[in-house]
A = this chain, B = another copy of it.
Amino acid sequence: MSKLVVGMVGFGVVGSSVLKALLANRNIISARAGKEIELKRIVVRDEAKAHAKLKNLNATDVKVSTNIDDILQDCEIEVVIELMGGVEVAYEIAKRALEVKKAFITANKAMLAYHRYDIAPLANGMPVGFEASVCGGIPIIRALKDGLSANHILAIRGILNGTSNYILTQMQQYNQDFHTALNQAQNLGYAEADPTLDISGGDAGHKLLILASLAYGINAMPEEILIEGIESIMPDDIEFANEFGYAIKLLGIAKKQGNEVELRVHPSMIKKGAMLSKVDNVMNGISVIGDYVGESMYYGAGAGGDATASSVVSDIIAIARGESAAMLGFSQPLEGNEHLKLKSIDEIYSQYYIRLYVCDKPGVLGQVSQILGQHNISIGAFLQKETNDKNIAKMLLSTHHCYERDINAALLELERLDSISQKPYKMRIEC
């Protein structure tokens, strides 16, 4: 049986799992790949630490070095696996690997969010595998690239970040507030010491951009799309959601209407009956609507060394089989979507949930509904409750469909009222 020799940059949690899988599942992997897979060399910052890890994994024949050239200049190595993270340095490695005609595999969503359209032309037919970059073990890249390839993708809605989903699940199922749930996520290792990228929606935004490129061939940078995190969600919002049958999820949303695509990441209320509403704790789920297939959904572990390694190794196997892992959709706009452009955030047309804290005096509800009405916003559900502070009442309401620009204008006006005691908060309701 012939051999495919690979080199790896980075030897953290995912890298260790990749090596572990290659060793433990060697028989089945080589049967499916049609070739033996040999991990020849790992490039790391700390050689001693790497040697210790290799000893633990019983893999002391794997070479270690601190110089990327030891992989790039090794003619035997046909595939470079980048698992080091970061944006610019990782992009540099992608460029250099493709320059010397090595296939390239990455789990790096941040790098792809910024450089996917730079890498595609460099690939020039060389396979680039990135199944691991979105939602760890869920084969969602292949679903979009291969399984659903006959479809115009009408919409993607994804729970793309396990950390924030864990926090929201805790808040909703155990009535925890945001900070308690975040602390618990940190204690359990589900959230980093600095959890910003996860809870701010940034990580989900990176993944959404990769999916949107596959679906729509649309090039957008993280800074160009609406990204809101979950930091401002309060127990009152949870209470409203429970009362009216919603789950609160951080969704990445891509939707095509006419020749415009809207891309956005934000907390969303979704009906408790929907499949996505049942994706709880650290799990990820992506619902995709295609014009022929209808709705399909993909569910699984979105992070973790072993799950992510499952996707990295699946890319190695695909390359061994000689399958074209070309970066479809990144290299050029898809013909059918040639004129797709990014929709302005103002044009989002949605239902909204609004949380207001108001001075508890006569006439306030009238003021609020008048201002909403002036902006073409009509109220759907309404819930008013007393607070601990007897002078403040909370008004929680949902609206019928309206435009984002109208909601924003109305909230700005409401904020200026004397009777409003805190900046109003809005959350989109996704049906």
Contact = CB atoms under 8 A, between A and B. Distances in A.
Interface of A: 17, 21, 24-25, 27-33, 131, 137-139, 142-143, 146-152, 275, 278-279, 290-301, 304, 306-307, 309-314, 316-318, 321-324, 328, 334-337
B139 A148 contact: yes
A310 B293 contact: yes
B299 A275 contact: yes
A325 to B, nearest CB: 10
A32 B149 contact: yes
A296 B150 contact: no
Number of copies: 2
A291 B29 CA distance: 13
B300 A296 contact: yes
29 contacts: A17-B292, A25-B291, A25-B336, A27-B336, A28-B334, A28-B336, A31-B335, A31-B336, A137-B294, A137-B296, A138-B296, A139-B142, A139-B147, A142-B147, A143-B143, A146-B323, A149-B317, A149-B318, A150-B311, A150-B314, A150-B316, A275-B278, A292-B307, A293-B300, A293-B306, A297-B299, A298-B298, A299-B299, A323-B324
Contact of A293 (B152, B307, B321, B334): B307
Given A25-B292, A146-B314, 4 more contacts: A138-B296, A142-B143, A146-B323, A147-B314
Contacts of A309: 150, 292
